[in-house]
Amino acid sequence: MAVTEVERHSLVQGLIDTLGEERTEILMKCILPEGWDQLATKQDVELAGERLRAEFGEKFGELRGEFNEKFGELHGEFGEKFGELRGEFGELRGEVKELKGYIDSALAKQTRIYLLAMVGFVIMVWASALAPQFF
């Protein structure tokens, strides 16, 4: 319920009669220190809210744009790095295959040497076992 100007004036006059003019002025300054023109209406608050929402929307839009730009840069950099890693892993696979081939050939060579040594040893044992019968 809104207070009319007449009711307000009547209230102030009653305070002046009760407290005196100086005390009434002090009381009114305490109640409304800046004056009536400094009070915000519902419309003022709604307009301020709309302005704030618009400003925040604009700032958030800018932030989204900056984040998207940075994420795009990061995505590109990560793609580059992953490409490099794929290449290095490919090289590593080739080196491992080469090493496996070397190990396979070395084991085959070693197996032949051991086999020939064993055959030679067996021949020597047989020869030494059979030699007394022939000589």
pLDDT in tens, 84-121: 999 999 999 999 999 999 999 999 999 999 999 999 99
pLDDT for res 41: 85
Same domain, 50 and 114: yes
Angle, helix 5-19 to helix 21-31, in steps of 10 degrees: 130
Dump the DSSP string for 46-67. Answer: HHHHHHHHHHHHHHHHHHHHHH
Same domain, 14 and 60: no
d(CA 38, CA 29): 13
pLDDT in tens, 11-26: 889 989 998 999 888 8
Same domain, 6 and 67: no
Same domain, 47 and 100: yes
The conformational region for residue 20 under phi > 0 = left, psi -120 to 50 = alpha, else beta, is: left
pLDDT for res 40: 78
Please provide residue 22's backbone torsions phi and psi, each rounded to the nearest 5 degrees.
-65, -45
Number of domains in the chain: 2
Closest by CA position to 29, among listed 14, 44, 15: 15
Same domain, 50 and 35: no
Selected residue with higher pLDDT from 49 and 33:
49
pLDDT for res 75: 96
Helices (H) and strands (E) in the chain — how many of each? 3, 0
Same domain, 106 and 118: yes
d(CA 124, CA 135): 16
Same domain, 11 and 74: no
pLDDT for res 33: 59
Domain around 67: 41-134
